[in-house]
Structure 1
Amino acid sequence: MSLKKNALLNSIKQTCTIIFPLITFPYISRVLQSENYGKYSFASSIISYFSLIAALGVSNYAIREGAGIRNDKKRIEKFSSEVFTINILSTTISYILLFFTIIFWKYIQKYTELLLILSIGIIFTTIGVEWIYSIYEDYLFITIRSIVVQFVSLVLMFIFVKSRDDYIIYAVITVLASSGANIINLIYARRYVHLHLTMKMNLKQHLKPMLVLFCNAVMVTIYVNSDITVLGIICGDSEVGIYSVAAKIYTIVKNLLNAIIVVAIPRLSLYLGTNKLNRYYQTETKILKSLSIILFPALTGLFMTSNQIVVLISGPSYELANIPLRILCFALGFSVLASFITMTILLPNRQEEKILKATIISSITNLILNFIIVPFLGMNGAAFTTVLAEGIVFILSSYYSINIFRKMQTNFFKTFLMIFIGCIGIVLICLIINQILSNVFVSLIVKIVISGLYYLLILIVFREEDVTELIHKVIKL
């Protein structure tokens, strides 16, 4: 299956994962209110650290190493069983640490019920072995499964969450939505490999690169989630609830854009593993151009419509989330470009140590600044520290990848000019519509439609390859 189809399927999957909270969030934020939604968000941020321990960098490692041997049935089956066993072991350790944390950290004991419910997602994620489907680029099954599960969860949400005290039920349903079908994953995976637990885990071979990727993931989570954790400790549940609106919207857009990147990892690893360097550089160039064409107008539009989006999604009582969301738009640009560099350049080229260096520096800086800035600026300070963290990772990863960029040997001037003209037009369109329309919903829809048509026209005028190819296909039909 082509990278375009894989990217489309993975985007659909990500969209379905995103549509679930996007549809329900206007309802949930109003029903639970900022304090109880803040409790859920704080507990979720705590669980994210233990999810990382369970994950142990397995997914990225397995995709990178497994893609190169996927056609060797015996090797891939042995490799997959070893990795799966290690993942089960790390998950067990994660649960032990979680129980000790709840017992000895009195502050979070009031969130015990929430923490235990949300922790169910840890084991479901492990047994879901989604990395197997990425190795074999089977995004069709994952996409179909996600749509079905999200739909069922959506129905359950509206049936059972009725009052502000139903945040526990909300937690149960979100766990079901995110990982409830992973048992099916484990069974369906038998069409590719027969997984089994093994005493011969080959730790000497697997553990070091896994730990490097794990440490990197820990550092990333610190600078992604420490804002909510520190905000919850210092400012309380209500401010966490408001800030979580901005963080959720930011995460939604970031995940959609990262879907383009994730599907390329197995293919790029395959090209490098088979020494097809020309194909590797060509694919890298194409991904970067496509990503840039989508990324910059997306964050420009998000910045210009942030107030309307916040009000429509969560209601006027969350309007203060508008400012941190605008600040996070800058983090979005840094984050997605840094993901492109780390996931498609450094990771396939086995430069995990460089990724780790960048994220360690970023995470330590972010954590320190959170404790310094958040007490004074609250949620706006939390958003600002996220921008700094993402910016540091982007700058350092770009520096580490400079030799690869040189080998790509592509002139991006025309692409950047096209994007610049497009984004300037989006800003002007949004400013003009602000003066004409006052209704929040109508204003947002008109901005999206007119800006989208304008940007499409710019792509056509500049004869952007993918758009031109799509137009030719439509004409032939």
Structure 2
Amino acid sequence: MRIHSLKYNAFMNMILMSSSFIFPLITVPYVSRILSPSGMGAVAFAQSVVSYFSLFSLLGISTYGVRACAQVRDNKVELSKTVEELLVILVISTFVVYCIYLAVLNFIPRFSSEKKLFLFFGSMLWLTSIGVEWFYQAIEQYDYITIRSILFKIIGLFLMFMFVKETADYRIYGLIVVFGSCGANILNLLRLHSFVSFIPFSQLNLKRHLKPMKSFLVSSISSGMYTQIDLVLLGFLSSNGVVGIYQLVVKIKSMLLTAINSVVNVMLPRLSYYAKNSQDKYRSLFIKNINFVFLFSFSGIFYVLLCADAIIDILGGSQYTSAVMPLICILPALLIVSLNTILSQYLISSGREKEYAFVNFIGLVFSIVFCLLLIPPFGAVGAAFSCSLCELCALIVRCWFARAFIKGIVKDIKILPAPCAACVSFFIVFSIRQLWWPANSFMKIIVSGVLFLIPYFCFLVIFREETVLGILSKFCHLHEKNSF
């Protein structure tokens, strides 16, 4: 099979992540106004609850599978055996979890009141398990992943405009969300035979995966729970309307993280490969990853801070004005989550699954504590603030476990250029706002972007930020080449 370059993979993943950013910009304003906060809250709550069950059915294979397959991708026989063994484990675990899920729907009133909606989302358990997304990530088939995902997003977009017409259509919207999110996974399974050759069941060795999967299981469940616990606990401690307000904030955070992590997320397979074959390349790639996160996270945080009210107005409308403060409180998580992702990649690719699992468990504990303390008195604002605090605590613990590695690379990490450039650019735009500012929300976003990004880019050049200088150098070289 052909393994593309990291630049190609990053480019394809940026297209995919851009679609994950652009499509919500089209769908969220429409459904937010049609379904109202209560309808959106019902869908968001059901989706979050199902994601919890999915964590148990996946058994951490969404992460473990990437590493396990990436390490043997040059050996088709061993790769085929690994994929088939993991699929068998997933089918068994999903069957057990789905039976428990059906039982829960009948005994918990908060779930049974929306049984049809929860059944729609329950199909995600099977679609996610058989989707083998981890396999295609391991063999770095990002062009296929991108094309397939965008196609199903387009189909889902048309279905949404055709069938979601009034507030009562929130269940239909939930079904469309399932199709857009997981429908493409059926294609993954059908296409699998092109890469692997299945062997008789008697030759499989499922036990060899159970021990290394333990750490991934604990970490996957813990991290998945603590990234969703704010929304789930908010659903139990408040109304669908409050959940609807907060889900818009979570969607905006997810869109921004998707854009920031567009390059970061393609690195794990290559880091796992370099960890066994080239420590110099491993170290270099890790440093580039951190510098990239600083560059985009700080720009995202300060830019959204400038126009949070305009973003909420465009995406949600007047019913969601109370989402502005939660959005501001959750902004620090953009940087912290991205750094947590990078340090998690280090722990995974270097074989330190136990530390990776422990940090995620600690993160879950922090998240539950912060949510129970802050949600009752502050509602959606408390949920947003607890998210940022939880991620910060998890980052501190991850830095402690990775301290030896960080100490060896910290001198090569350019920490100051991005935050300094972002702060200066923010105060420039903030000063201009005191003299003049457009009334239209869309124009606020455009003007803020132009006035912020131009000085931000200029100051990065002045501060000698290596990523920006590298892009400029390549652009100038390409321009000179075309001139001749």
| Alpha-carbon displacement from aligned partner over 1:210-233 (angstroms, at most 9, x marks no partner) | 232121121112222111111111
Contact kept? 1:358, 1:392, Cα under 8 Å = no
1:284-299 matches, within 5 Å, as 284-299=286-301
Note if 1:41 corresponds to 2:44: yes
1:105 aligns with 2:105: no
Tell me which moved more, 56-65 or 464-473. Answer: 464-473
Cα contact 1:84–1:195 (8 A) shared by 2: no
Q: Using the alignment, how far apart are the partners of 1:60 and 1:120 within structure 2?
A: 21
- 2:127 alignment counterpart: 124
CA-CA distance at 1:199 after TM superposition: 5.3
Question: Which digits, 9 at most, give the CA deviation of each residue in 1:248-282, with x for residues without a partner?
Answer: 101111223233222111111111122x1111111
* Superimposed CA distance per residue, residues 381-432 of structure 1 (whole angstroms, 9 cap, x where no aligned partner): 11111112101110010111111123336433xx333213311133124313
- 2:354 alignment partner in structure 1: 353
Q: How far off its partner does 1:368 sit?
A: 2.6
- Mapped contact 1:219–1:363 kept (Cα < 8 A): yes
Deviation, 1:195, is 4.4
2:216 to 194, 213, 217: 213
1:338 corresponds to 2:337: no
User: Which residue does the alignment assign to 2:319?
Assistant: 317
- The aligned residue for residue 445 of structure 1 is 446
Which of 49, 53, 61 is residue 50 of structure 1 equivalent to? Answer: 53
Question: 1:304 & 1:199 partners in 2: Cα distance?
Answer: 61
1:96 and 1:137, CA in 2 relative to 1: closer, same or farther beyond 3 A?
A: same
> Normalising by structure 1, what TM-score?
0.95
Aligned match of 2:284? 282
Distance 1:372 1:466, change over 3 A: same
| Aligned-partner SS, 1:162 | coil
Is 1:242 paired with 2:241? no
Deviations 1:107-161 (A, max 9, x none): 2101211111012122112222111211111100111111111111111111110
Alpha-carbon distance in 2 for matches of 1:200, 1:383 = 49
The residue that corresponds to 2:426 in the other structure is 427
Residue aligning to 1:91: 94
Residue of structure 2 in register with 1:81 after alignment: 84
Q: Contact 2:293–2:335 (CA<8 Å) still a contact in 1?
A: no
- Cα root mean square deviation, aligned: 1.7
**Structure 2: how far apart are the matches of 1:392 and 1:300?**
22
What whole-Å deviation, never above 9, does each CA across 1:52-91 have from its counterpart, x for those lacking one? 1121111211111211211111111111111111111121
Moved more, 51-60 or 31-40: 51-60
Distance change in 2, residues 1:238/1:137 (3 Å): same
The separation in 2 between residues aligned to 1:469 and 1:62, in whole angstroms, is: 38
> TM-score scaled by structure 2?
0.94
Matched, 1:192 2:195: yes
Q: Would you say 1:13 and 2:9 are equivalent positions?
A: no
1:203 to 206, 209, 229: 206
Q: In the alignment, does 2:396 pair up with 1:392?
A: no
Cross-structure match for 1:269:
272
Structure 1, unpaired ranges of 5+: none
The answer as to whether partners of 2:38 and 2:244 remain within 8 angstroms in 1 is: yes
| Paired position in structure 1 for 2:417 | 418
Give the letter for the 1:227 counterpart. Answer: D
Is the CA contact (8 Å cut-off) linking 2:57 and 2:93 kept in structure 1? yes
Query: Which of 255, 260, 271 is residue 257 of structure 1 equivalent to?
Result: 260
CA drift at 1:187: 2.0
- Stretches of structure 2 that go unaligned for 5 or more consecutive residues are none
Query: One-letter code of the match for 1:388?
Result: L
> How far apart are 1:468 and its partner, in Å?
2.3
Contact 1:91 1:126 in 2 (8 A): yes
Identity within the alignment, %: 30
Q: Distance in 1 between matches of 2:202 and 2:427?
A: 63
Q: How many residues are aligned here?
A: 473
Deviation at 1:450, TM superposition (A): 2.4
Which residue number corresponds to residue 177 of structure 1? Answer: 180
Partner Cα separation in structure 1 for residue 348 and residue 34 of structure 2: 43
Supply the AA of the counterpart residue of 1:459: L
Segment drifting more, 373-382 vs 467-476: 467-476
Relative to structure 1, the CA distance from residue 118 to residue 75 in structure 2 (aligned partners, 3 Å threshold; closer, same or farther) is same
**Distance (whole Å) between structure 2 residues aligned to residue 291 and residue 197 of structure 1:** 45
Q: 1:361 to 1:409 in 2, by over 3 A?
A: closer
1:326 aligns with 2:302: no
Please tell me whether residue 60 in structure 1 is matched to residue 63 in structure 2: yes
**Do 1:17 and 1:178's aligned partners in 2 also have CA atoms closer than 8 Å?**
no
Give 1:329 shift: 0.5
Partner of 2:229: 226
Structure 1 residues 409 and 224: alpha-carbon distance in aligned structure 2, compared to 1, 3 A threshold: closer
Q: Would the aligned equivalents of 1:331 and 1:387 in 2 still touch at CA under 8 Å? A: yes
Q: CA deviation at 1:287?
A: 1.4
Distance in 2 (CA, whole Å) between partners of 1:277 and 1:161 is 52
2:28 to 25, 29, 37: 25
| Worse overlay, 183-192 or 29-38 | 183-192
Does the CA-based 8 Å contact 2:41-2:241 persist in structure 1?
yes
Report the residue type matching 2:148 in the other structure: R
Answer yes or no: is the 8 Å Cα contact 2:370–2:390 preserved in 1: no
Distance 1:199 1:99 in 2: 32
